Amino acid sequence: MSILVFGHKNPDTDTICSAIAYAELKGKLGKDVKPVRLGEINEETKFALDYFKVEKPELVENVAGKKIILVDHNERTQTADGFEEAKVLELVDHHRISNFNVDEPLTVRMSPVGCTATIILNLFRENNLVPSKKTAGLMLSAIISDTLLFKSPTCTEHDIKAGKALGEIAGVDPQKYGLEMLKAGTALGGKSEAELINMDMKTFEIDGVKVGVAQVNTVNEAELLEKKEKLISEMNDIISKDGLKFFLFIITNILSNDSIGIVAGEGNGIIEKAFNVKVENSLVTLKGVVSRKKQVIPPLTKAIQSL
Amino acid sequence: MSILVFGHKNPDTDTICSAIAYAELKGKLGKDVKPVRLGEINEETKFALDYFKVEKPELVENVAGKKIILVDHNERTQTADGFEEAKVLELVDHHRISNFNVDEPLTVRMSPVGCTATIILNLFRENNLVPSKKTAGLMLSAIISDTLLFKSPTCTEHDIKAGKALGEIAGVDPQKYGLEMLKAGTALGGKSEAELINMDMKTFEIDGVKVGVAQVNTVNEAELLEKKEKLISEMNDIISKDGLKFFLFIITNILSNDSIGIVAGEGNGIIEKAFNVKVENSLVTLKGVVSRKKQVIPPLTKAIQSL
């Protein structure tokens, strides 16, 4: 029976491509490891798989009784059903460790880098191996996705070097290919306002104040700003339902690496203080902001704590 | 401010020596890292430190506000006070992951090997570095301690190879030095019956049946068996206090790698079934048994589950 390797639920490009890459590495080391996925792939990942002519991994919903390897996640809420009845052999990840409990010692490789694929390239090298051309292309795609083409503050020097090396193996120009891939991932046409807000929505509780922050990437903010009133109406519904103080919807332009925020609820004062900007007509300009984790939540936290 | 590196509370030889070894490695890599300990060192560790003329690390009781690296443990109950207020940079360990939650991504190296020092030797090698003679001696001591001189079922091929290499760097014969060190750790003279039982006592609940299992290492079981009646009396006190079905006190001879068990309470039937042996005069011979985790708890679990 093959060992299964997979990333998180609601898969992104790093989760899918790192599972494929790690299965290839283990295969070269003589292990029978098969990449699988826990959900539907997104448009960006589809572009990468199509470009490098790789089939999407098989869908698996329950891993009870299986031997498994986790990549790109470790928290219990993000992993497969049946986790408690599986035997966890390995973990390769770049996130914090939280709610990950296992009965037996296992092999773990984690680094605070921008992308799991960067760690996996290191593991190839430690074994004096090189990923195949296709797999190098997918690993490059993962790094581009997680680091927004090397521009996110989560990107490290290791990710940049890995991306360059993988681009050479794959025979593609990271900048040119990367923009195409990111654009493919921003195909938002046809999505309803509720779908846009729920694509990547999280709520946070800071000093007892609950706030919602959603984010989408785009190359055309105008088409989203046209929907401003309907988006605010959706955001107000979530504010009432979840008891939030305010909701910030961040539209990030992946070409300019700037964002525009749409604000609903009682957020103007906090947001103006956090980012030292004016909210006008429910809109706020966030120059150079691309990372919710590193550039939005910390200043919001400070502003709320100083209320 | 130095980064602090430390192992678990109630420190053993691996915890102390791996902290010293990892601090040396990080120092060679240009980092200011200081080994510390969370409690008193035992006789075995003292022997190793004295032999290689290394000072014991400084005692630290609270790590709030510090940057820290954990070795040889990860569970919250085993680590330092103030953990939540510290910044965890790295983790190097060979145990299961349980109750370990951090807010930020970190560097983690774990392998299912017999000893943390085996992983640390690998990290030296990945950086093209070699531990100093003294530190190699301490790392060898850690491996000998955790694997009972390469004879525990937790010992892997990696531990054996690492031990051989470290013995060469340290200029000691692992077998000869190892026996001396293990013997030093079995200096039980002067300990009361209660102290002997509490040196390494754990309780387990299996299918609603609570049992106690303690273990000591020795080269002279006779001096312990002389105290049999007093030990049983202590064990009976614990049985009453903790509501146990029975208590098994395992005396492991580190030269022969066999054990003798002293049984108190209603354990004869279960123990005879578990190990396929007779209990006579509250004593049972456990040929080839050295590991509570791998050789005692699993058969007891099976025997209790089939009651």
Q: What architecture (CATH level 2) is domain A193-305?
A: Roll (3.10)
Region B239-266: mean pLDDT is: 95
**Residues in contact with B20: Cβ distance below 8 Å, sequence separation at least 6, in sequence order:** B35, B54, B57, B135, B138
**Cα angle, residue A118 at apex, residues A114 and A119 outer, rounded to 5°:** 105
With cut-offs at 50, 70 and 90, classify the pLDDT of residue A33: very high
Q: Which residues of B touch A (CB under 8 A)?
A: 94-112, 126
Q: Which residues from A are below 8 Å from B96, CB to CB?
A: 101-106
pLDDT, one tens digit per residue, over B126-144 is 999 999 999 999 999 999 9
Q: How large a percentage of chain A has pLDDT more than 70?
A: 100
- Distance (Å, whole) CA B210 – CA B208: 6
Q: Which residues from A are below 8 Å from B103, CB to CB?
A: 96
DSSP state of B244: -
pLDDT, one tens digit per residue, over A52-94 is 999 999 999 999 999 999 999 998 888 999 999 999 999 999 9
pLDDT score of B227: 94
Please give the residue of chain B at the shortest CA–CA distance from A108.
B110
Q: Are A104 and B96 within 8 A, CB to CB? A: yes
Q: Are B102 and A101 within 8 A, CB to CB? A: no
Number of alpha carbons in the 13 Å side-chain half-sphere of residue A170: 23
Q: Which residues from B are below 8 Å from A126, CB to CB?
A: 126
Q: Are A108 and B104 within 8 A, CB to CB? A: no
Optimal mutation site among B74, B110, B118, interface A, most CBs of chain A within 10 A: B110
B97, B109, B126 member nearest A102 (Cβ): B97
First to last CA, chain B: 57
Q: Are A95 and B106 within 8 A, CB to CB? A: no
Q: Which residues from A are below 8 Å from B110, CB to CB?
A: 105-108
Does an H or E element contain A197, and which?
Answer: helix A193-198
CATH for B3-184 is: 3.90.1640.10
With cut-offs at 50, 70 and 90, classify the pLDDT of residue A293: confident
ipTM of the shown complex: 0.82
- Distance (Å, whole) CA B28 – CA B21: 11
Domain ranges of chain A: 3-184, 193-305
pLDDT, one tens digit per residue, over B155-169 is 999 999 999 999 999
Q: Which residues from A are below 8 Å from B108, CB to CB?
A: 97, 108-110
Q: Which residues from B are below 8 Å from A111, CB to CB?
A: 105, 107
Q: Which residues from B are below 8 Å from A100, CB to CB?
A: 97, 100
**Residues in contact with B291: Cβ distance below 8 Å, sequence separation at least 6, in sequence order:** B152, B153, B154
Residue A196 has pLDDT above 80, yes or no: yes
- Distance (Å, whole) CA A219 – CA A256: 9
Does an H or E element contain B202, and which?
Answer: strand B201-206
B99, B111, B112 member nearest A101 (Cβ): B99
Mean of the per-residue pLDDT values of chain A:
94
pLDDT score of B140: 98
Helix (H, G, I), strand (E, B) or coil at B171: coil
Optimal mutation site among B97, B107, B118, B123, interface A, most CBs of chain A within 10 A: B97
pLDDT score of B33: 98
Optimal mutation site among A70, A93, A104, A108, interface B, most CBs of chain B within 10 A: A108
Mean of the per-residue pLDDT values of chain B:
94
Q: How many CB pairs under 8 A join A and B?
A: 59
Identify whether the C-beta of residue B253 lies closer than 8 Å to the C-beta of residue B218.
yes
Residue A187 has pLDDT above 90, yes or no: no
